[in-house]
Structure 1
Amino acid sequence: MTLAERFGTDVFISGWGHTKFGSLPDETLESLVVRVAGEAITSAGIDPGQVDEIWFGQFNSGLWPLGFASSLALQVSDELFRVPATRVENACASGSAAIHSGLRSLLAGTARTVLVIGAEKMTHAPAEQVGAALLGADYELAGSESRTGFAGLFARVAEAYRQRYGEINDALGAIAAKNHANGMANPLAHLRKQFTPEFCSTTSEKNPMVAEPLRRTDCSPISDGAAALVLTTQPSTSAAQSPVRLLGFGQANDFMPANKRDPVEFAGSVAAWERARKMAGVGLDDLDLIELHDCFTIAELVMYEVLGLAERGKGRQVLEDGTVFRDGKLPVNLSGGLKSKGHPVGATGVSQHVMAAMQLSGTAGELQLPGARRAAVHNMGGLAVANYVSVLEAV
């Protein structure tokens, strides 16, 4: 039973906007929000006055002085005066949290057109401040000092995986190299640098160990950036591109204490994937591409197994047989993923949906996968604590 069959209405992504990700010293949070919001409204072929609600995803956690940013999008046009605007936060899944919140308003019938924005300003802050802010998303380490931050947390996942299933050094190196190769074709990506698998899997002066066994090339960068999209039950015929249908969605949260989670299970992501897949009525064979949350390369490796691309402990096989590469059976992170495209926390989930929508509408430029019809998007907050999955389809 698809979303439309279950709720009696279709929901579409009808327009979008996206800044370049990276170090953007000339941009403020406001300028990023206003730019992508305006782009999304124009792309959707609507007037600002047709927007019924605004949902804004931002982690912030003290990174930007303005802690009350929900109304920034109203700067796009005076026509947005009095439109309900709400900021949501769910760690690195804040963008998808905003999308799913807007989606529920459409399904409830309280809105027909929703503007969703995700944005973050991070690179201006000292490394210590960024690290402390991000650790606010961890139950055990929030408020404490940590030399390795979230890299240290995911390093524990990598070590647990290695102890349970064997060496993963080459697999992590292959993932990093793959995503950087994909990112070379993405003009919006933060790190457009080509690396060989050998470089990525070898510790060196240019690729130091961050938190063993994770090297610099295993970690997504700190980025500034924003993305926005328009969700609607009634796409405009004046839109700049074909709309993309939302077939299914799923959200699931796991326990916060580490001792209540298996570090390599990502059980919340499993549940979110199953809910979205069942609602959409699809399996892996029905998908053409996946954009998933590769904040660290070990996360992508585990997600191969969560999604059923490989059996538990055998994620490396889809790298060895080429399944997840651009010319493979089911390409993963054609955008470059968080690893290359960048990870401005609140923007990430919205960006992933925009990248997938571009593929399905045939507007992805150099990134375009010929004939792409269906895609899945996976976004998570914390160490797989807040988990979101969407399944999208070309119209």
Structure 2
Amino acid sequence: MNTQPMLVGWAHSRFGKLDAPDVEALMRDVIDDALAHAGVVAEDIDAVMVGVYNNGLTPQGFEGALAALAQPGLRFAPAMHVENACATGSAALHAAMDFIAAGRGKLALVIGAEKMTAVPGRAIPDILMSGCYRREESNPDGFAGIFGRIAQTYFARHGDHSDALAMIAAKNHANGVRNPYAHLRKDLGFAFCNAPSEHNPFVAGPLRRTDCSPVSDGAAAMVIAAPEVAMTMARAIRFRARVQVNDFLPLAKRDPIAFEGARRAWGKALGHAGVTLGDLSLVETHDCFTIAEMIEYEAMGLAAPGEGWRTIEEGVTTRDGRLPVNPSGGLKSRGHPLGATGVSQHVMAAMQLAGEAGDMQIADATLAGVFNMGGAAVANYVSIMERAK
């Protein structure tokens, strides 16, 4: 019998350059809607886990305490701020599920949020470098510089597959048109994504602007319930598996294009769930850069090492392919407000499984995979989810 806590309600703000002045305001946009979607009130919540990366994006820290300001009914619920780089949202989800699984409560609220556009754009690359091993990896281009080098290493070993990266970008932009929450809702097409130009310049190494996820504001929230409570509610999404695998922080201590932590996380999750990749209806994966999504095809087992480019060229991961990947548009189109991303990915998957994904809906979706990573495949989270009710 599966005793894992279940997902029973959610909410999602639009992602983009938003008028909301701070993280507190972003939280306010999603908390009440998530509670209402679950059919509970704030006073029912036994714990609040808040995922915000921050590290200089905003001056206000102590973000766990902001939840009660956004919703006063949470005043006396224990609340905690969680941070794990770009996997902050998934870390908050795991903390909430662990809280309930330990018997400390029946209902938990997970909030992921980030206000990234309040600081000058030129400051963002350095702020985000706190998610890498600064001693060795600091560079003026930030994480684009790191993933630019990853792309160069991949191309040096396996050939230049810039066209495959452009196909991934075009796929995710096309999918994002269907997503009302997405930051970028424009189908750019393969030709634009593949051709460097004034409007699509090189950013770092072989990566063009269309190979990079945007700087976004946004928030998402989820209500997690003990299984016996979840089965009394209107909807319940079960976790067949949830796994975290970490790897060394410095890329110099590992093969930078192997994504070994991600590979191990996928292997464990599929094993725990008792399913194969072929059983999945869709995957929401962490495409902070298109090269990341391509290597993640290999890590999840869709392609052999060095052959991830075949996956997109053969149409495997398109919306009508054998395994749709990022039908929400992914980070590339939906946006990447760091603390919100992992929560957002799980909300997108839950919407599919509940049949509530609107224009994004994949027909007959029964089993979904989610991959969220912190840093360059350092903190690796995989969830396998299905509808329980």
TM-score, shorter chain, exceeding 0.5: yes
Instruction: Give the equivalent residue in structure 2 for 1:377.
Output: 370
CA offsets, 1:318-337, max 9 Å, x none? Answer: 21221100001100000000
Indicate the SS of the match to 1:316. helix
Contact 2:28-2:71 at 8 Å conserved across structures: no
C-alpha deviations, 1:202-239, integer Å up to 9, x for none? 11111000012000000000000000001111127454
Letter aligned with residue 373 of structure 2: M
Q: Pairwise mapping of residues 106-255 of structure 1 onto structure 2 (< 5 A)?
A: 106-140=100-134, 146-233=139-226, 234-235=229-230, 237=232, 239=234, 242-255=235-248
- Pairwise CA distance, 1:77: 3.9
Contact 2:22 2:58 in 1 (8 A): no
Report the CA distance between 1:128 and its aligned residue.
Answer: 2.4
Aligned residue type for 1:48: A
Of 321, 330, 350, the match for 1:328:
321
Give the superposition deviation at 1:38: 1.2
Secondary structure of the structure 1 residue equivalent to 2:308? coil
How many residues end up aligned between the 2 structures?
Answer: 386
1:69-84 paired onto structure 2 within 5 Å = 69-84=63-78
Q: Is the 8 A contact 1:251 1:275 kept in 2?
A: no
Q: Secondary structure of 1:116's match?
A: strand
How many Å apart are 1:47 and its aligned residue?
A: 1.7
AA matched with 2:161: I
Equivalent in the alignment of 2:59: 65
Q: Which residue of 1 aligns with 2:79?
A: 85
Q: Deviations over 1:350-389 (max 9, x none)?
A: 0000000000000000001110000000000111111111
Select which of 17, 23, 33 maps to 2:17. Answer: 23
Q: 1:51 to 1:142 in 2, by over 3 A?
A: farther
Contact 1:179-1:334 within 8 A present in 2 as well: yes
Cα pair 2:117 2:215 within 8 Å, conserved = yes
Asked if 1 retains the 8 angstrom alpha-carbon contact of 2:24 and 2:70, the reply is: no
So what's the TM-score if we normalise by structure 1? 0.95
1 CA distance for matches of 2:51 and 2:210? 27
Structure 1 position 278 matched with structure 2 position 271: yes
| 3-state SS, counterpart of residue 90 of structure 1 | coil
CA distance in 2, matches of 1:79, 1:196: 46
* Distance (Å, rounded) in 2 between the aligned partners of 1:45 and 1:195: 39
Alignment-derived partner of residue 8 in structure 2: 14
Q: Name stretches of at least 5 consecutive residues in structure 2 with no aligned partner.
A: none
Q: Secondary structure at the match of 1:33?
A: helix
Q: C-alpha distance in 2, partners of 1:115/1:349? A: 14
Q: Secondary structure at the match of 1:34?
A: helix
CA distance in 1, matches of 2:210, 2:216: 15
Cα deviation for residue 111 of structure 1 reads 1.9
- 1:79: how far off? 3.1
How many angstroms apart in 1 are the aligned matches of 2:323 and 2:250? 34
C-alpha distance in 1, partners of 2:65/2:188? Answer: 41
Q: Which of 386, 390, 393 is 2:379 aligned to?
A: 386
Paired residues of 2:31 and 2:71 also in contact (CA < 8 A): no
Indicate conservation of the 8 Å contact 1:44/1:236, yes or no: no
Q: Which runs of 5+ in 1 are unaligned?
A: none
Write the distance in 1 (CA, Å) between the matches of 2:134 and 2:255.
15
- How far apart, in 1, do the equivalents of 2:268 and 2:169 lie? 29
Alignment partners' CA distance in 1, 2:356 and 2:328: 13
- Whole-angstrom CA distance in 2 between matches of 1:191 and 1:183: 7
Q: 1:282-293 residue pairs with structure 2 within 5 A?
A: 282-293=275-286
Q: How many Å separate the matches in 1 of 2:269 and 2:174?
A: 29
Tell whether 2:345 aligns with 1:352. yes
1:111, 1:275 → 2: CA distance? 27
2: CA distance between counterparts of 1:291 and 1:306? 14
Q: Distance in 2 between matches of 1:393 and 1:260?
A: 36
Does structure 2 conserve the Cα–Cα contact (< 8 Å) formed by 1:132 and 1:143? no
* Closer, same or farther: CA 344–82 of 1 in aligned 2, 3 Å: same
TM-score normalized by structure 2? 0.96
**Partner AA of 1:81 in structure 2:** R
